[in-house]
Amino acid sequence: MRLKPIQPSNKIGYSTLEIRRATAWRSKITLVIFLFAFFVVICRAFYLQFLNVEQWQRKAEKTYTKYVEMPAVRGKIFDRNGEILASSVLNYKVGIVPAKFAHEGDALTSFCSLVGYNPDDLLAQIRKASRYFRLENSIDKSKVDEIKHLRLNGVEFEKFYQRDYPFKEAFSTLVGLTSVDDDRGIEGVEKSFDHYLRGSPGQKKLLIESGNVAFDETIVRTPEPGQDVQLTVDAGIQSIVYREALAAKKSYGAKSVSIVLLDARTGDILSIVNVPAADPSDRKDLNLDEVRNRAITDQYEPGSTLKPFAIATALQEGIITAGSVIQTAPGFIEVNGKKLQDERSFGKLTIREVLAKSSNVGTVKVALKIPSNAMYHYLNLLGFGKSPDLPLLGMRNGTLPKWKSWEDINQATISYGYGVDVTLIQLARAYTVFTQNGYILPIKISFLDRWVKKPQYFQNMCGRDGENAC
């Protein structure tokens, strides 16, 4: 019996041709989908490679690049003879990368000794820290070199500048100090001349690897050092005046003492001292009130030190002469119902004797002859009631009431220094009028200041030979 081959069944009813056509159609669809997917991938790659470069560069730099400010070296402060009053000293902060730090026995002990840490405390900090951290204490270049000889892995050094004040308390209230964090002037000359001293910081770009460790750096902008400032003060004179101020404070039991010393020929400030004063290098228990320049900030009633200006005004206005005699008996005078008196009755006094004996009665009798507007005018010209033209921040104006509000009692008490407030620097400047034949000098604290001769206010106060001087 002969067997026949079995033919494929086509129960659904499709012909062989139809099946072939369907298969070909599906293949074409698959090819189109594949080509479309390939086209999408190519377009995406083109976009990322060529059209979105800046975005990916920004992401890459944010991830792997760090920009760090490079501090500028702050300018020095000198006295008139070139003595350094303030300078910036290079120091270092020590950083540790825990993942790389190798802590062998002897090397660790030496390292801790150099950075001022207990070994157990340091290791405890390292165990807690997962990334880079900085030790609190700073060290100088010599200790950096010693640490490098230990060949410890995971130890890095960061440069920074620390302000040094060699004269400590003697100059602290004048020179002032800078902030610890950003080397910005916060008191005294350091603050007033900060725009000269500070300079312009630079910037560097660091490439960072895992663990926040820099493996490459590029200087983006070089820092520009600050400008030096030379003051008119004399460090030798300042040291002497500071010792005398301390002695006076102790001798008189004073709460504070301030002294200003001027060169009466030039207006140069040779010394400004305030005690008590603090060492600006010691920040642990620093009291900012003890680095404040009270000679320019504190106002007080000047008392009898104002009497010479009342007498000078009367001389200038021709109300009295150097030969005038004032009757001060019986030792007191009533003004607007108030009794003003001397310590005793001095009788008749010349103008020189009124000042020599500091007679309130004699001064008041002269002052009441002066028109109120004239007396106010000259006191104002002398600088009372307004801040001195001096580039020191924090100076006060003092108080000088407007003359239209004066009664006789106001004019009387102002003539011997009550009812008016001044700062010590104002009073010192005003007294230069007695050394310059009636000229009042501008005062200077630095050689950046310009010197301009001022008008002659008191022409009749003293002659060429001082014959009319009070």
The confidence score (pLDDT) of residue 463 equals: 41
pLDDT classification of 464: cutoffs 50, 70, 90? very low
The confidence score (pLDDT) of residue 95 equals: 84
Q: Which are the contacts of 309, defined by CB distance < 8 A and separation ≥ 6?
A: 378, 379, 382, 430
What are the CA-CA distances from residue 16 to residues 9, 12, 24, 85 (Å)?
11, 12, 13, 107
Residue 374 scores a pLDDT above 80: yes
Task: Select the highest-mean-pLDDT range: 24-38, 57-71, 148-162, 266-280.
Answer: 266-280
The confidence score (pLDDT) of residue 115 equals: 85
Strands 348-350 and 325-327 turn out to be: antiparallel
**Mean pLDDT, range 363-376, rounded to an integer:** 96
DSSP string, 172-241: HHHH-EE-TTT--EEEHHHHHTHHHHS-B-EEEEEEEETTTEEEEEEEEE--BPPPPEEBS--HHHHHHH
The confidence score (pLDDT) of residue 152 equals: 80
The confidence score (pLDDT) of residue 32 equals: 66
- Residues 302, 427 contacting (CB under 8 angstroms): yes
Q: Could you tell me what percent of the chain has a pLDDT over 90?
A: 51
| Token pair belonging to 65 | 């690049």
Q: What's the CA gap between 151 and 139, in Å, rounded?
A: 17
Task: Select the highest-mean-pLDDT range: 124-133, 200-209, 280-289.
Answer: 280-289
The confidence score (pLDDT) of residue 16 equals: 64
Check 138, 239, 281, 304 and give the catalytic one: 304
In words, the CATH class of domain 303-434 is alpha beta
Q: What's the CA gap between 316 and 114, in Å, rounded?
A: 71
Residue 353 scores a pLDDT above 90: yes
Active site residue 138: no
Q: What's the CA gap between 224 and 228, in Å, rounded?
A: 13
Of 386, 389, 327, nearest to 362 by C-alpha is 327
Give residue for tokens 């009812």.
419
The confidence score (pLDDT) of residue 451 equals: 54
Residue 121 scores a pLDDT above 70: yes
Q: For the whole model, what pTM was predicted? A: 0.77
DSSP string, 348-368: EEEHHHHHHTT-HHHHHHHHT
The confidence score (pLDDT) of residue 158 equals: 82
* Number of CB atoms found within 10 A of residue 460's CB: 16
The confidence score (pLDDT) of residue 61 equals: 54
Q: Which are the contacts of 184, defined by CB distance < 8 A and separation ≥ 6?
A: 178, 194, 198
The confidence score (pLDDT) of residue 83 equals: 97
Each domain of the chain, given as residue ranges in start order, spans 235-294, 303-434
